[in-house]
Amino acid sequence: MSQNHLATVDFADIEQAAERLDDPSVVKRTPVERSTSLDEVTGGEVHLKMEHLQWTGSFKTRGAYNKIRQCVEADDVERTVAASAGNHAQGVALASTKLGVDSTIVMPKTAPQTKVDATRGYGAEVELVGSNFQEAMSFAKELVSESDAEFVHAYDDPAIVAGQGTLGVEMYEDLPDVDTVVVPIGGGGLISGIATAFSELSPDTRIVGVQAVGASTVPDSLDKGIPQTLDSVDTIADGIATGGISELTLSLIEEHVDEVVTVTDGEIARAVLYLLERAKQVVEGAGAASVAAVMSDELDVRGETVMPLLCGGNLDMTMLKTVLVHALTEREQLLRLRVRIDDQPGKMEEVSGVIADHGANIQTIRHERSAPELDVGEAYLVFQIETSGAEHARRIIRTIRGHDYEVRHINA
């Protein structure tokens, strides 16, 4: 049972947190930008809250600084310990360093190297333990039990939630007439704070939470009335891949959040690429989940003024490559074709010429000669091709077939 099961957060706590967050070198006011392209996609009026441009690349410093500053004011902390996949790690590291406190951050071995490096850059000692957030969390709690360090939880702490709630105040001030606010959910601390702020400032605003399908715990927790935990998570949105929520955050979600939807990794990947192309913003999977939701069939915002929260921008370049390959393959801008040929000189040149005549770029070619369905003397040519899109791809396939070759699109 959570140690905070009797605790809650109200608007007064958020106001006090805002007073503590009085250093613009720790937390700055992030901009809001209208997205007319998303207006066309959604039928609403979309304003992006760009918290991914925060100093650490995410909102996490708000809660961490509020928590640690309270401890410093009470003169009872010399070291902080936290567990994180990356964003909370950087928030705790920056807040601790700013307040003159040592910090140790436990991160899973799978954490993106960029987030590990950034956490160390903010002054923390980093220990890489386990293959997921839960294993890192267990080790972090062991460290605390063996010392007098202060554990800074990513979401199960009223001070953390209140600090994140300052973002809700800012969002309201940015757009007082907003109809719907869309917030990604991992452990629930962010949406709990934002929803608590809006319940005071604009109770008619609809608050919608978004989880990745492969890390979704809130819908089941709401159905059963108690926090549910996943044994493992599977999503590209590592920033919301906590695999669980707490009694504190569940109670606040039940009280203040109107709706929770889920999005697939494919939808998140499309949102990452859409923001890159159309909004010119580099946003990590967790941060793009809100846009994935408004672009999906799960959430109707037609005729509304809507504010999706881009909560994180710490996108690892390896993950960006994965996202780009996935999205470009789905668009058929990356195309894999398998062409059946008589395995004779000149056949590869002939098919390659057809592709080149269409202005497509061949990235790779390989032969397959061991497929059981091939007759003696036959082979497959497998091409990976760059095209301008689906129609271009279809023209290439039609032309190859017109030269009497059997061709199959094998992206899927």
Please write the tens of the pLDDT for every residue from 165-177.
999 999 999 999 9
Between CA 49 and CA 128 the distance in angstroms is 32
Conformational region of residue 130, where left means phi above 0, alpha means psi within -120 to 50, and beta covers everything else: left
Which ranges in the chain are annotated with CATH 3.30.70.260?
A: 332-409
The domain defined by 11-58+165-326 carries CATH number 3.40.50.1100: yes
Residue with tokens 């396939």: 397
**d(C-alpha 382, C-alpha 34), whole Å:** 44
Predicted confidence at residue 231, as pLDDT, reads: 86
Average of per-residue pLDDT across 101-126:
92
pTM attached to this predicted model = 0.90
- pLDDT tier, 303 (very low <50, low <70, confident <90, very high otherwise): very high
Each residue's pLDDT tens digit, 230-277: 988 899 998 898 889 999 999 999 999 999 999 999 999 999 999 999
Kindly tell me if the per-residue pLDDT of 1 is higher than 70: no
Q: Alpha-carbon distance 48 to 280, whole Å?
A: 12
**358-390 pLDDT per residue, tens:** 999 999 999 999 999 999 999 999 999 999 999
Strands (E) in 74-146, as ranges, are 79-83, 102-107, 125-128
> Mean pLDDT, the chain, as a whole number?
94
332-409 maps to which CATH number?
Answer: 3.30.70.260
The model's confidence at residue 2, banded by pLDDT at 50, 70 and 90, is very low
Rounded Cα–Cα distance for residues 290 and 38 (Å): 12
Every domain of the chain with CATH number 3.40.50.1100 lies at 11-58+165-326, 62-151
Average pLDDT of span 193-221: 98
CB 249 within 8 A of CB 155: yes
What's the pLDDT at 3?
45
Average pLDDT (4-19) is 88
Q: CB atoms < 10 A from the CB of 318, how many? A: 11
Task: Kindly tell me if the per-residue pLDDT of 81 is higher than 60.
Answer: yes
**Phi-psi category of 299—alpha, beta or left, where left has phi over 0 and alpha has psi -120 to 50?**
beta
Of all helices (H) and strands (E), which one includes residue 347?
A: helix 347-357
CA distance 179 to 173: 13
Pairwise CA distance, residues 379 & 369, whole Å: 5
- Write the DSSP assignment of 187-219 as a string of letters: SSHHHHHHHHHHHHH-TTSEEEEEEEGGG--HH
Closest to 247 measured CA to CA, from 192, 165, 183, 168: 192
- Measured CA to CA, the distance from residue 237 to residue 221 in angstroms comes to 20
Q: Which fold has domain 62-151?
A: Rossmann fold (3.40.50)
Averaged pLDDT for residues 188-215: 98
Give the contacts of 2 (CB within 8 A, at least 6 positions apart). 156, 227, 246, 247, 248
- Strand ranges inside 167-304, DSSP E: 180-184, 206-212, 259-263
Tokens of 125: 């000692």
Residue 85 confidence (pLDDT) above 80: no
Mean pLDDT of 134-149: 90
**Residue 372: CB atoms within 10 Å:** 4
Residue type for 203, please?
Answer: P
